[in-house]
Structure 1
Amino acid sequence: MPALVVGQVSHVRRAPVRHAFRHRSYQWLVDVDALPRLPLWLRPLAAFRAEDHLDGGASGAGIRGDLTAFLACHGVPVEPSDRVVMLAHARVLGHVFDPLTVFWVLARDGAVRAVVFEVHNTYGGRHAYLLDVDEDGHADTDKSFYVSPFNDVSGSYRIGLRLDDEQVSVTVGLDRGGRRVLTATTRGAPTPATRRALLRVSATHLLMPQRVSALIRAHGILLWLRRLPVVPRPTPAKEFSR
């Protein structure tokens, strides 16, 4: 690390309207204590800020400090020797939209001590879930945050995670009433984030965060045109919810 995780993101909505898509994508896999230090001319292509995650840097100790405070609220201590790995989008030309950020807290021997799953919506809100992940990388958690205008906060997530040298992947299934409503997956192969690799992926995946924002809205319009019912958004939206 740092690494570029280049691959695809896909969504399959099964009910009440079937809708599916797949797009090329890339994310960053970084150690939050050793964020990429790019030369000045490359910084517009990748920037990481504490304000984009968790409590927005309220701890005064960056992303790690906010994560440590969040986990402390749940009775999970973070040791000084623990490594915190983050899968996320970077800011590109000052813009970022990160539908999903995943944090792994790793012990010195590589064992997973905690996993935090941070969901962002297009209304400026975000919510963090502490996951109880089993040995196979699976976890279940109740949904408690409004993400899409076509889904309320009922149901539960079935989550699958993989983090290794060959693949980084996250699969999220939303179940409601014993029925799978939708499945979202992001999957890619991590490669060292060299300057050449960053230039290449920036050219082939032009303005990635801007594209993510635009595609979410475009697919939302398509669903609305197909008369998928809109669920009112709770107000006011919270910037961060524990």
Structure 2
Amino acid sequence: MTDHPHSKAGTKTDTGWKSCLYRGRVTHSRLTPFRHKFHYRVFSLLVDLDELPVLDAGLRLFSHNRANLLSFHDRDHGPRDGSALRPWVEHHLAAAGIDIDGGRISLLCFPRLLGFAFNPLSIYYCRDRQDRLAAILYEVKNTFGQQHGYLLPVPADQQPGAPILQRHDKGFYVSPFLPMECRYRFRLNEPDESLSILIRQDEAGPEGKPLLAATHNAQRAALTDATLLSAFARHPLMTLKVVAGIHWEALRLWRKGARFHSRPTPPLEEVSIWSDPALANGRHDK
């Protein structure tokens, strides 16, 4: 891998690693048919997949595929069989006709804390050899042990600093209180000193009403043993809080009268690939 001096997220500052830590807040807002909102503070890792062996060797409180206070395990992501993640991502990029030519792949996710983790959403940022963001792979998990990915290209004329706007029809069951006939609309920035992610879930159709808005806003910190220990001290039960929070908020929605939707058969393919003429032409939904 060649270093890219003009890259943004996790540039070779501070520790010298492209990987970093983000501390921030996740907010969920139910918009229809009634208002329901909750938020919680979290910290995430943005891990350059090629740096995992170096991070394992350079940090005392973090390990790759080994137990530690905080850790990253390949089997929590991708094919979930413990194999390396980069070939899996590149396989799906090739299926979408996207060649990043050895460019770097960074994964935003929650780490394991004391051996436990649950990631409702993990995001792969895939860059080409010129360090231009070429595609984003959204990896979604539900509390039934299932997982599905959405792979979306980034327009070739995407302007630096401009928000990345993408969309995809919903194809994977997540919440029992949201219908399947929906469309996701994504608005996010390239991770830099700050992280900003907005995901809207709208009813299907051009005039579909907004049902849900989820945001994740955070600030970057260098990835060191000190920042990892500080993040753990502030959020020692983060994994439990995320899982318990999902079920608690589901109970609150049920008590408010939210309609229950049965769980359908999951998609046959592990990743849905979106080929949208609007994206190919550099146009986006607002």
Normalising by structure 1, report the TM-score.
0.91
Does the alignment pair 1:55 with 2:79? yes
Unaligned 5+ runs, structure 1 = none
Distance 1:179 1:139 in 2: 18
Corresponding residue for residue 120 of structure 2: 99
Q: Aligned runs of 1:17-28 on 2, under 5 Å?
A: 17-28=34-45
Matches within 5 A, 1:75-224: 75-80=97-102, 82-134=103-155, 135=158, 136-177=163-204, 178-224=208-254
Q: Secondary structure of the equivalent of 1:168? A: strand
Q: Does 1:4 align with 2:31?
A: no
On the 8 A contact 2:194/2:217 being kept in 1, the answer is: yes
Task: Note if contact 1:8-1:187 (Cα within 8 Å) is conserved in structure 2.
Answer: yes
| Contact 2:168/2:183 (8 A) holds in 1 | yes
In structure 2, the residue corresponding to 1:183 is in which secondary structure? Answer: strand
1:54 corresponds to which letter in structure 2? G
CA contact (8 A) 1:125 1:238 kept: no
Counting matched residue pairs gives 239
| Counterpart-to-counterpart distance in 2, 1:229 and 1:75 | 39
Instruction: Show structure 2 runs of 5+ residues with no match.
Output: 1-17, 273-286
Q: Structure 1 residues 68 and 57, CA, compared in 2 at 3 Å: closer, same or farther?
A: farther
Deviation at 1:186, TM superposition (A): 0.7
For 1:46, which of 70, 74, 93 is the aligned residue?
A: 70
For 1:27 and 1:205, locate their aligned partners in 2 and report how far apart those are by CA, in whole Å: 11
Bigger shift: residues 168-177 or 139-148: 168-177
d(CA) in 2 for partners of 1:186 and 1:25? 9
Whichever of the two has the greater Rg, that structure is: 2
* AA aligned opposite 1:2: S
Moved segments of 4+, more than 6 Å: 236-239
Identical positions, percent:
34
Measure, in 2, the Cα distance between the counterparts of 1:98 and 1:195. Answer: 22
- 2:142 and 2:106 map into 1 onto residues whose CA distance is 22
Q: Which amino acid aligns with 2:99?
A: P
Task: Decide whether aligned partners of structure 1 residues 96 and 30 sit closer, same or farther in structure 2, where only a CA change above 3 A counts.
Answer: same
Query: Does residue 227 of the first structure (1) align with residue 257 of the second (2)?
Result: yes
RMSD after superposition: 2.1
1:241 CA displacement: 4.6
* Larger RCO (CA within 8 A; separation ≥ 6): 1
